[in-house]
Amino acid sequence: MLSKNIEQALNIQVRIEAESSQTYLSMASWSETHGLEGISKFMYAQSDEERTHMLKLVKYINERGGHAKVSELKAPKTSYETFKKMFEELYKHEVFVSDSINELVHLSFSEKDYATHNFLQWYVAEQIEEEAQAKLILDKINLIGDDKGGLYLFDRDIQQMASNSSASKDPK
């Protein structure tokens, strides 16, 4: 049985994951309208993945005797100055999500809710991957600079990353 404190904190994380999905969806749409097919496919896949993270939390809360709540979401940004700035925002967002997960882990440990602590370890590992991937993408973007040929190759590479990532992830 979840404490009310942990249930409330997990519900906040449900909203964060839902907002993450919406953020990636907005980035996908922006990329698609700017001819960045690979980036848009990557962002659509990431949006789906974040929604899956949210659903995993919802099921956990409900299975542990709590009530997962679907709440109002903050609207994501819909336009970006450049694709580089978009990925910089993505990286900052992933760091924010990691910090939020870490706070949940700390809370579950301090309340001696070891089932929730154990459940959250999957999210800890996932966030390590998400941050590393975002950092790698930013590093590649910085290597490209203003080279349009490099952007074309990057767009193709990131499309391949999306395909590989969705094939290898199993959030269940």
Instruction: Provide the token pair at 99.
Output: 């910090």
Specify the pLDDT at position 130. 95
Specify the pLDDT at position 145. 85
Spatial separation of the C-alpha atoms in residues 87 and 138, rounded to whole Å: 7
Specify the pLDDT at position 149. 83
94 is in an annotated binding site: yes
Specify the pLDDT at position 152. 84
88 is in an annotated binding site: no
- Does residue 58 contact residue 68 with C-beta atoms inside 8 Å? yes
50 is in an annotated binding site: yes
CB atoms within 10 A of CB 55: 16
Hey, what domains does the chain have and what are their CATH numbers? 4-167 (1.20.1260.10)
Specify the pLDDT at position 159. 87
Spatial separation of the C-alpha atoms in residues 156 and 105, rounded to whole Å: 37
Q: How confident is the prediction along the chain (172 residues), in pLDDT tens digits per residue?
A: 999 999 999 999 999 999 999 999 999 999 999 999 999 999 999 999 999 999 999 999 999 999 999 999 999 999 999 999 999 999 999 999 999 999 999 999 999 999 999 999 999 999 999 999 999 999 999 998 888 888 888 988 898 888 776 666 544 4
DSSP string, 52-101: HHHHHHHHHHHHTT--------PPPP---S-HHHHHHHHHHHHHHHHHHH
111 is in an annotated binding site: no
